[in-house]
Amino acid sequence: MRNKWLGSLALVCVTFMQFSCGGCNGGSEDDIKFIPGDEANTSDVNYNSEAMNEVIESFPPPVEMAALVKDSGVPFSTKYLLNPDQVNDYTSSFKKALGLGILSADLGYLNVYSKTSQILDYLVSIRRLTEELKLGQFFDFQSLKRLATSDDNIDSLMYMCTQSYRNMDEHLRNNQRSNLSALLVTGVWVESLYLITQVAKEQPSDRLRETIGEQKRILNNLLPIMKLFKNSDKNFEELVQHLEELKEVFDVVKITDHVDENPQVRDDGVIVQNEYSVVELSKEELQEIITTTEKIRNKIVK
């Protein structure tokens, strides 16, 4: 699972699987209300779903990221999280989609520490965003909630999340709303990066440093996708500028891939070739990434 997170998908699904969407009928495209000037004409955008899948699959597993945060030794703190009431001020579909991704990442953090009381507050805001974006119809909330309560069903949960996201992504692309799909992914990734860099700021470790450095590849894959919407949606211009600024500080990261010269042979005769990466990132370079990530994330959530 080292490089198989199902990206934003996994954390977005953590969002949806936590609660029942009783009364959330999804609605049709005709029901969607966009504020004037917020419409994005993405019909002419050559949105490559394979490219987005590549981004998604490059994310680390949710269980690994969660364990990494908790095992760092830094106590739980709400100071890392976006106030769920803040999204009530988000009026555009652009901000709502980004906010949904951000809150999804925060909810994953809350789940790690079993903060039930705070989770309820986040679910209220998350449910509101999903209803307003008309995305609830793509998730079997009751089944996801049931699976989420049992660690034994993680494979089934991941499968459901994968299918749900792909169906949603296809629907959004077919209805010229692929920009929202891209924003969900971006929101989760930015907030996840912010959370882990904040933890690294207080309790640095080699493992955290390597995980942060590995995000360079995700950003390099994500940025070209976001640029596709730059000309068709004015809201993307500033967001792309933020990501480009972040890319500048990540460019110093050096990642070298290696293949173990001594492959393992399983009992069934299958040869397993172990692959691993070495991340080179100095303390000063890491601090620059932490500072820039914090600045950009706080601009995005305003």
Give pLDDT tens digits for 71-104. Answer: 888 888 999 999 999 999 999 999 999 998 898 8
Asked whether the beta carbons of 17 and 141 are under 8 A apart, the reply is: yes
Domain ranges of the chain: 7-300
pTM: 0.79
How far apart (Å, rounded) are the C-alpha atoms in residues 137 and 135? 6
User: Could you tell me the pLDDT band of residue 181, with boundaries at 50, 70 and 90?
Assistant: confident
- What tokens does 162 get? 């994968």
- What tokens does 86 get? 């803040």
Q: Pick the closest to residue 43 from 220, 224, 221, 173 (CA basis).
A: 173
Q: Pick the closest to residue 63 from 15, 107, 11, 115 (CA basis).
A: 11
- What tokens does 90 get? 């988000």
Tokens 């993307």 correspond to 236
Q: Which of 55-64, 110-119, 121-130, 146-155 has the lowest mean pLDDT?
A: 146-155
| pLDDT computed for residue 266 by the predictor | 77
Asked whether the beta carbons of 229 and 182 are under 8 A apart, the reply is: yes
Give pLDDT tens digits for 240-297. Answer: 999 999 999 999 999 998 887 777 777 777 777 778 889 999 999 999 999 999 999 9
Give pLDDT tens digits for 203-242. Answer: 999 999 999 999 999 999 899 989 988 887 888 999 999 9
